[in-house]
Amino acid sequence: MYLFQRSVDLQNWLETVRGHNRKIGFVPTMGALHDGHLSLIRQSAAENSFTVCSIFVNPTQFNDASDLEKYPRTPGNDIELLVGSGCNALFLPTVEEVYPTDLDTSVSVDLHPLDTVMEGAFRPGHFAGVVQVVYRLLQLVQPDQLYMGQKDYQQLTIIREMIRQLELPVKLVMVPIRREPDGLAMSSRNVRLSPAFRAIAPVIHRILQQVKEQVDEKSVSELEAWAMQQLAEAGLRPEYFEIVDGNTLKAISSLSKTKSAVACMAAWAGDIRLIDNMIL
């Protein structure tokens, strides 16, 4: 596996491997890698000739300075995990490399209302930062296929919309959520959970499953209210639990009238914010 810190070196290498019907797969991450990230790498490696992974803790998507500061950074361990995972090149840029002071990296896309609901309501400005970094990384890597996790369902929907509006020549591939054996969705933030909250957190997956089981019996608002109550009773502080249209992310009134519905939630486990979702 190659390791590039400068975009010019990554691009020089990409020039040598591109072409001849060879596909490039790209997996952008913020590091502190776990098996969820590696499932994206493995899928990309199986479907492309070359796989590029980036690790960049993007400052523009953090609306809380202390969250950015506390975000886990484990580059040595990440490199060890990537070697042997099928990744051909790791891009590990500095902030200056991604956002050179003499370059305008802003992106103009109208995401409304995708970026103002759910995560967007609780993390103002977050998705503008996500769009900015993914666009910039796509410009640098120019992959054929972009791999993103269902774990961040709203993020994926927004990137799909960005690709559509800007007519970017890349195919977006959604990779299912990888979970711990007890159901907790793998996340870089999980290592920061206290033992007590780590024991409670799997309730999120159980609640999502029970919601899925009850879609024929209860209304959307009953299911949402029930799930919020269950999360709170378990000792978490839920921010939202919403059943939305899987494409537009708009609230839905009736499950029977919707082709694709997804239940999305966020809750605090102590001072760690967890998100999860389930396609219904």
Residues lying near ligand AMP in the complex (CB under 6 A) are found at 29-30, 36-37, 39-40, 148-149, 151-152, 175, 177-178, 185-188
SS3 labels along 102-157: CCCCCCCCCCCCCCCCCHHHHCCCHHHHHHHHHHHHHHHHCCCEEEEEHHHHHHHH
d(CA 148, CA 176): 9
Evaluate whether 80 touches 43 at the Cβ level (below 8 Å).
Answer: no
Query: Hey, what are 278's tokens?
Result: 């389930």
Nearer to ligand AMP, 187 or 230 (CB): 187
We find the least distance from the C-beta atom of residue 248 to ligand AMP, in angstroms, to be 20
For the chain, the first-to-last Cα distance in angstroms comes to: 39
We find the least distance from the C-beta atom of residue 57 to ligand AMP, in angstroms, to be 9
Alpha-carbon distance values, 266 to 75, 119, 230 (Å): 27, 8, 13
Active site residue 126: no
Alpha-carbon distance values, 39 to 36, 104, 157, 242 (Å): 5, 33, 19, 27
We find the least distance from the C-beta atom of residue 216 to ligand AMP, in angstroms, to be 28
Nearer to ligand AMP, 88 or 187 (CB): 187
Nearer to ligand AMP, 39 or 88 (CB): 39
Q: Is 220 helix (H, G, I), strand (E, B) or coil?
A: helix
Nearer to ligand AMP, 30 or 262 (CB): 30
Nearer to ligand AMP, 136 or 151 (CB): 151
We find the least distance from the C-beta atom of residue 266 to ligand AMP, in angstroms, to be 14
State whether the Cα torsion 43-98-154-186 is positive or negative: positive
Out of 20, 34, 37, 205, the active site residue is 37
Query: Hey, what are 31's tokens?
Result: 């590091």
We find the least distance from the C-beta atom of residue 218 to ligand AMP, in angstroms, to be 27
Residue with tokens 């400005």: 125
d(CA 156, CA 264): 13
We find the least distance from the C-beta atom of residue 186 to ligand AMP, in angstroms, to be 4
Nearer to ligand AMP, 220 or 269 (CB): 269
The neighbouring-strand residues paired with 248 are none
Q: Is 208 helix (H, G, I), strand (E, B) or coil?
A: helix
Instruction: Tell me the Cα Rg of the chain.
Output: 19
Catalytic annotation, residues: 37
